[in-house]
Amino acid sequence: MPAPGPALMPTPATAATAATAPAPGAAGALPACPARARRDGIALFFCALVAFATYDAFCKWMLMRGNPPSLMNLARYLSVSAIALAWLLRQGDLRLWRTPCRWRLLARGLALAIVATCFMAALVQMPLAEATAIYFTAPLMMVALSPALLGEHVGRAQWGAVLAGFAGMLLIVRPGGDLPALGTALMIVSAVCYALFQLLTRQLAGQVAGATMYAWTALICLLATGVPALLLLPATLPPAGELLLMTAGGACSGAAQMLLLAAFRRVSASTLAPLNYFQLLLAVLISTFVFQRAPDAVALGGIVLIVLSGGYLAWRGRPAGGVAMPGTEGSRS
């Protein structure tokens, strides 16, 4: 997803990459060779975005073949949980129960589980481009929610960008359009929950190790999406080949998350943030040329408004109170 990996993602492809990256001056911080590190980091970031967009397209294709969304999520989080376990083993500490801030970690994981569930269910009915565009309003929602939930100040220019982005979303979901109401509602819920997920990520940054945060999220999503999937198993399971494909797709979204981590170890989040909307461009191209479902002119105008609004906020880096764009914190896991 901005599937929504954590795709992220989108999407949009999936979770707190900047929060798990080393702090400047710490061991493993940004390299001392900035020019080469910048090139490598940007290249890794684009590879991650391509991987997230590819996973979203893969999900759409598998859903069009009649595979249940719940089974897709189960396969995905089996793969992501395996990656999380490998990461914890490398760190040498599996004692997740000793982690501080457990309630916030639980809330963060449940928020992402809702994102994954709603995104995958919406993608059954929604065109890929419009679904990804609605999901990419999550950064705008994060800015809008930050004064109430984080006590941070948002300036008038940032509020203007947020309103412009929401206007773009209204152009996409306008009355009289051909988007299904249920799919649209599910995608909006997904975007709101992803904004809450990122706000919780900001609260936990610096308090919980990256591997631990990733593992908590993976395991909670596995339980929250896996139990319903097992209870609602279809009478006839997909062929073994398709089950393996689902698992491989999940591994792709997990690998994309690792690429994001590698990118953020080399380049600052503020440099990468404006590039995040490349994934939305990929979604529009894939929807148009692979699925033969191009956005109409009005919806395309809405997508452009969302990109310009989110890009402006990302370019500004942080509003007056320090609200970082979700695009700077990684895609969904």
Q: How confident is the model at residue 80 (pLDDT cuts 50, 70, 90)?
A: very high
For the entire predicted model, the pTM comes to 0.84
Q: Say if residue 333's pLDDT is above 60.
A: no
Q: How many residues does the chain have?
A: 333
First to last CA, the chain: 9
Q: Which two three-digit tokens encode residue 83?
A: 């990656």
Whole-number Å distance between alpha carbons of 41 and 25: 18
Query: Would you state the pLDDT for residue 222?
Result: 95
Between the alpha carbon of residue 275 and those of residues 24, 251, 279, 284, the distances in Å are 21, 23, 8, 16
Q: How many C-alpha atoms does 275 have within 13 Å on its Cβ side? A: 21
Q: How far is CA 239 from the centre of its chain?
A: 29
Greater pLDDT, 248 or 92: 248
Greater pLDDT, 221 or 8: 221
Query: Would you state the pLDDT for residue 279?
Result: 94
Q: Say if residue 239's pLDDT is above 80.
A: yes
Q: How confident is the model at residue 134 (pLDDT cuts 50, 70, 90)?
A: very high
pLDDT in tens, 15-28: 334 444 444 334 44
Percent above pLDDT 90 for the chain: 57
- Going from N- to C-terminal start, the domains of the chain cover 17-328
For residue 103, the one-letter residue type is W
